[in-house]
Amino acid sequence: MNMNHAPTRTLMSLGLAATVAAGMVGCRGERTDKPPRQFFPDMDDQEHFRPQSETEFFADGRSQRPSVAGTVAYGRAPIDHAAATEAGWAEEYNTQRARLLKEDQAAYFGTTDAPADDPAHYIREIPVEVTMDLIRLGQENFDIYCAICHGYEGDGKGTVGERYAVAPANFHDATKYVDPSVVTSRDGYIFNVARNGLYDAAGTMRMPGYGHALDEIEAWAVVAYIRTLQASRGVSIDSDIVPGAERNRLMEQKGTPVGDAGQSMTGEAIAEGGEQ
C-alpha cells in the first residue's frame, strides 16, 4: 500500500515544484506592494537630516552645516589655466573661476579698502567695459526688477513706487545721484544697493536686495543703464549725439514717418507731397 502511494506523492511534489517555478517566472518584472528585501538595512535605514531642518545635535540648531572658513566653491577637472588660455579654449573656465574667487574687489563688490563710512569706500566709476550689449542687458533687468518702483525713466514714479511707504530714488536728482562728490552718486554705491538692498540707521529695510536675481555683471549693467537714462534726460531726438539710425528708429516708434533719405519727415513735408 505504501508502495502504491509513493508514485503519487512523487508526482504531487513534482507538480507543486513546477507550479512554484512557473509562478516565480511569471512574477519576474512584475510590481508588488510589498517592500523589497533589504540586504544592507544599515545603509537603507541610516539616520539622516532633511535639508534645512532643525536639530539639537549642533549648537546653532542647523542640520545643514556651513562651509569651512575660506572654502571656495570651485570644482571641475583640474586644468593648466595658463596653457589652456594660450591654446585659446579656457575663456569660459577662466571666467567661471574669476567669478567664484572674486579676487577683483572693485568688480565683484564695488568697494575699495577705505573705511565703510568714507565715501571713497565705494568706487566712483563702473569697473567693467561699458558696451551697447551691457547697456541693453541693464535695460532688460532694470525693466524687470527696478522699473516697478523707480519708473521706466528712473524718476521714482513707478506703479508701486508711487504707493510705497518709502519714496524710491529719483536717479535724476542731481543732489543725490549725479554729483560724484556725494556717496549715493558713486557707481559702487548704486551697485551695492542693487545687490544687497538698502537699510536705514535703525536697520529697517528701505529697499530689498536683488543679489539673488542679479549677478555682478548684471548689476553693473543696471548701473550703466541708469547712467544712460541720466545722460539722455532732456536730450532732443534731433540732437547730434543721437545716431542717425537710432533717430529714425525712434521716429518710427513715435509714429513720425521717415523719408527715403533717412530724415524724419514733418507734417509740412508730407503736405508738400512727400511719401512715407
CATH number at residue 217: 1.10.760.10
188 with 137, same domain: the answer is: yes
User: What domain range includes position 161?
Assistant: 121-232
DSSP string across 11-80? HHHHHHHHHHHHHHHHHTT---SSPPP-SSHHHHS---PPTT-B-SSSTT-BSSPPPPTT-----SS---
250 with 227, same domain: the answer is: no
In a domain, 90, yes or no: no
In a domain, 244, yes or no: yes
In a domain, 180, yes or no: yes
What pTM does this model have? 0.62
In a domain, 61, yes or no: no
202 with 263, same domain: the answer is: no
196 with 264, same domain: the answer is: no
199 with 227, same domain: the answer is: yes
pLDDT of residue 267: 38
pLDDT of residue 180: 78
In a domain, 78, yes or no: no
146 with 159, same domain: the answer is: yes
Per the structure, the count of domains in the chain is 2
C-alpha cell at 206: 528701505
pLDDT of residue 273: 40
274 with 182, same domain: the answer is: no
Query: Which residues are bridge partners to 62 per DSSP?
Result: 54
pLDDT of residue 129: 95
176 with 247, same domain: the answer is: no
139 with 220, same domain: the answer is: yes
Pairing of strands 205-207, 198-199: antiparallel
In a domain, 99, yes or no: no
pLDDT tens digit at each of 276 positions of the chain: 455 555 666 666 666 666 655 555 544 445 667 767 767 777 777 778 888 889 998 999 999 888 888 776 666 566 777 787 787 777 777 777 788 788 899 999 999 999 988 989 999 999 999 999 999 999 999 999 999 999 999 999 999 988 888 889 999 998 999 887 899 999 999 999 999 999 988 888 899 999 999 999 999 999 999 999 999 887 777 777 777 777 787 777 777 666 544 444 443 433 344 343
255 with 214, same domain: the answer is: no
125 with 226, same domain: the answer is: yes
In this structure, how many other beta carbons lie within 10 angstroms of the beta carbon of residue 99?
A: 15
pLDDT of residue 187: 96
126 with 217, same domain: the answer is: yes
In a domain, 178, yes or no: yes
pLDDT of residue 234: 79
Question: Can you tell me the distance from the alpha carbon of 254 to that of 247, in angstroms, rounded to the nearest whole number?
Answer: 10
In a domain, 59, yes or no: no
